[in-house]
Amino acid sequence: MQLLRDILDKQVVDREQVKIGKVDGLVAELRQAKPPRVIAVELGSIALGRRLGAVPGRWAARLVARLSGKRQTRPHRIAWNKVRDIGVDIEFDIDVRQTKIFAWQDWLREHVIGRIPGA
Amino acid sequence: MKKLLEISLGVVTSVGGFLEVGSIATAAQAGALFGFQLVWAVVLGTICIIFLVEMAGRFAAVSHHTIADGIRERFGFNAFIWPLLAALFVNFLVLSAEIGGVAIAAELATGVGFQWCALPVAFFVWLLLWKGTFGLIEKGMSMLGLVTLCFVAAAVMLHPDWKEVATGAVPNLPQHDTAKYWFMAVSILGASISPYLFMFYSSGGIEDQWDKTYIGANRAIAGLGMSFGGGISVGVLIVAALVLGAHGVTQVDDYNQLPLMLIPIFGFWGFVLFVVSLAIACFGAALEVALQQAYLVAQGFGWTWGEDLKPRDDPGFSLVYTLSVFLAAVPIALGLDPLKLTIFSMALTAASLPLTVVPFLFLLNDDHYVGEHCNGVISNAAVIFIIALGFVLALVTIPLQIFGGT
């Protein structure tokens, strides 16, 4: 398996096969006298911003912080040990409703989309 | 038997969905000024789109992924961002042009200025996306789109010199207005080889839950549907050549000239048919382009998407098409000339082709996605040809726009 070819940018689905995003970043742990190990994947706009460069990454983080009203923000992470299947899509043994990954979609549903008749 | 029904339905859908503001306007302009000389551009564009649509459908049926998914996943985010931005921008212009087309039809029918019609048109497009299902939009609108066959009927009734039409189907050099000739050839190619068309088609394969058993049906739908669709464009060109060109109208620079096309053949009903055809063709295309904007963003970022879901179940996706539709109506509401915008956006479509077509060469040869259903020699040769054509178009469009644009 090659991390960049087979993991990065692939579709992520949860255990109900709900599409929750693409693998926007990878997190590896450096270990003494042993090869580094992947510990998590990252999702969301901060991770994507960092892909483009340090400056867009900071912009994305600042924007997310302002929108969510928090002082510090980090990309969403899914622990690598939750991985269940690696194919064309990557399935994690999680339920997206119990994460904050779709928090902005929930906000949108509650405050914008849900208020339009017929939604 | 069920497959046969599905194939015929698919063919009808692609025929009804083929004609839009770009193909009508470019074919009419070309016919009026150059007679049958530019038939080859329609034919060439149609052959290219057949190959691309077939591949997009096969990719979706085998991999259960769309072309937009594939570009992001295979090439990574930093590469994907370029086709993403280019397609979002070109689609925005095309969507605006389609809304303009419906608004012009509304102006012709009611006498109310087109800029006043833009927002109501956008509202109806949005309403259908908000409440409708994929089947309703794809099949329903395209069935209505069959009214555009009136151009083919008109072309046949005009008894054109078919030998001359066939001569025009072979690429030939212009005798006058050289820069304009090539600019029109580019716009026709842009109108026929639309990225939104093949990207939408691959999303449609997923919406209709295609699997490997659809590979044959997909081939038939792509081949027959697009050929018949191209036939309608040739019909528009023939009618424009014999009605507008032959009566001295060589410069089509105003939408009000276009309804004259069908009047000598069908009388007053010709006017009605033209207005209805324009309205339906552009309305259908506006629905597809707006949906494509949402597909592109949702697939590129991996969100949940689907036109059959309720808006509350895919809020991100619904927000994208909502914003796209209303933003695209703004230029028309401000009074931007829809015909100028149409021709400009078709040329720009042609220029953006390499960004969306190059990935086909990699995706359709990646056995990770398409397994044993990889491209054969002919399909690969076709993609390489289209890529080469795309690069030539990208290089010549801007200079031609300056010297040959209207």
CA–CA distances in Å: residue B210 to residues A56, B47, B70, B198, B201: 39, 24, 17, 15, 11
- For residue B202, what are its two tokens? 């691959």
Residue B405, pLDDT > 70, answer no
* Structure tokens belonging to residue A23: 């693998």
Q: Tell me the whole-structure pTM to 2 decimals.
A: 0.94
**Residue A33 within any structural domain of the chain:** yes
Residue A86 pLDDT exceeds 60: yes
**What backbone phi and psi angles, to 5 degrees, belong to A2?**
-110, 125
pLDDT-based confidence at B406, cuts 50/70/90? low
For residue range A30-85, list pLDDT tens digits in order. 999 999 999 999 999 999 999 999 999 999 999 988 888 777 788 899 999 999 99
Residue A72: which CATH number?
2.30.30.240
Position A117 in a domain: no
A100 within a domain of the structure (yes/no): no
Q: Is B13's pLDDT higher than 90?
A: no
- What type of residue sits at position A50? R
* Domain contains A74: yes
Taking only the tens place, the pLDDT of each residue in B152-179 is: 999 999 999 999 999 999 999 998 889 9
Residue A68, pLDDT score: 80
Domains of chain B: 2-404 (1.20.1740.10)
Name which of B128, B318, B326 to mutate to probe chain A: the one with the most chain A Cβ atoms within 10 A of its Cβ. Answer: B318
pLDDT tens track for B108-154:
999 999 999 999 999 999 999 999 999 999 888 888 989 999 999 99
Write the CA distances from A16 to A84, B21, B47, B64, B258, integer angstroms.
12, 42, 41, 17, 53
Judge whether A113 lies within some domain.
Answer: no
Q: What is the mean pLDDT of residues B183-188?
A: 93
Among residues B387, B286, B367, B292, the alpha carbon closest in space to that of B332 is found at B286
Residue A20: count other Cβ atoms within 10 Å of its Cβ: 23
For residue range B57-107, list pLDDT tens digits in order: 999 999 999 999 999 999 999 999 999 999 999 999 999 999 999 999 999
- A31 falls within a domain: yes
Distance in angstroms between the alpha carbons of the first and the last residue of chain A: 43
Q: What is the rounded CA–CA span in Å between residue B308 and residue B130?
A: 10
- Phi, psi of A83, rounded to the nearest 5 degrees: -65, 140
Q: Tabulate helix, strand, coil % of chain B (nearest 5).
A: 85, 0, 15
- Report CB contact under 8 Å: A52, B78: yes
Query: What average pLDDT score do residues B238-246 get?
Result: 92
Which of A8, A18, A118 is nearest residue B304 as measured by Cβ atoms? Answer: A18
How many structural domains compose chain A? Answer: 1
- What is residue B175's three-state secondary structure? coil
Contact between B102 and B283 (Cβ < 8 Å): yes
State both tokens at A72.
């510090």
Boundaries of domain holding A13:
3-94
Closest residue to A109, CB basis, from B63, B73, B312: B312
For chain A, what is the mean pLDDT?
A: 91
Q: Do A105 and B312 touch (CB under 8 A)?
A: no
B369 with A88: Cβ contact below 8 A: yes
A46 domain-assigned: yes
Residues whose CB is less than 8 angstroms from the CB of residue B182 and which lie 6 or more positions away in sequence, other chains included? B174, B396, B400, B404
Please write the tens of the pLDDT for every residue from B190-200.
999 999 999 99
CA B16, CA B229: separation in Å to the nearest integer?
Answer: 7
